[in-house]
Chains A and B, each alone.
Chain A
Amino acid sequence: DAGVTQSPTHLIKTRGQHVTLRCSPISGHKSVSWYQQVLGQGPQFIFQYYEKEERGRGNFPDRFSARQFPNYSSELNVNALLLGDSALYLCASSLEQSTDTQYFGPGTRLTVL
């Protein structure tokens, strides 16, 4: 079975632009979470979606938004990019919302110039 997949792998944007990152969970997994990881730090929780509804939100500005589709894939959108948004964006999927292990995708490396 395929693991969590994310696209694109790498992305370069300039300040003020908008970006959309995509994630496909492991087949059968209904929950998707998004994390931001800057160099030297652990992943920081951004959002969790379960059954197409937002179930948790981290301490990120409203420029960050996400959604989950009927096939359980998900998109993370970031508007008005700042230099500080440069990071590895990780998607993790789990079978259910609150009791299962999360498995991470390879991540999208975003660079904002």
Chain B
Amino acid sequence: GQNIDQPTEMTATEGAIVQINCTYQTSGFNGLFWYQQHAGEAPTFLSYNVLDGLEEKGRFSSFLSRSKGYSYLLLKELQMKDSASYLCAVRDYSSASKIIFGSGTRLSIRP
């Protein structure tokens, strides 16, 4: 089966760093995505990891460990506009390469 777990809600302070964790189980792993979704809007692509390690893109970094079925999204120098839901998603090649999404982590940034 397929399962993706991430915390439901997190709170952090403006200017700080926050790490959002994601664990997954899938029979045919073929890459992990992170998307940002503001309320009432469509998800926007943040990062893609297919190999183990850290991918850095500006204030955002994403890490993957395939052996542990684990990923995290690291957000640095938090800004109020970072308040959003963050979706972890896995591509499963055993299932027509469809992308399976977690329920998302709602991140609130306080001043």
Residues of A within 8 A of B (CB): 33, 35, 40-45, 48, 55-58, 90, 97-99, 101-107
Instruction: Assess the A98–B93 pair: CB atoms within 8 A.
Output: yes
Q: A56-B95, A98-B30, A98-B93 are in contact. Are A45 and B100 (CB under 8 A)?
A: yes
Main secondary structure of the interface of A (DSSP, over half): loop
User: Which listed residue (A41, A48, A104) contacts B104, Cβ 8 A?
Assistant: A41
The CA-CA distance from A105 to B110 in the complex, in Å, is: 29
Instruction: Assess the B101–A104 pair: CB atoms within 8 A.
Output: no
B14 shortest CB reach to chain A, Å: 25
Kindly list the 3 A-B residue pairs having the minimum CB-CB distance in the complex, ordered from nearest: A56-B96, A42-B101, A98-B97
B60 shortest CB reach to chain A, Å: 15
Instruction: Assess the B102–A42 pair: CB atoms within 8 A.
Output: yes
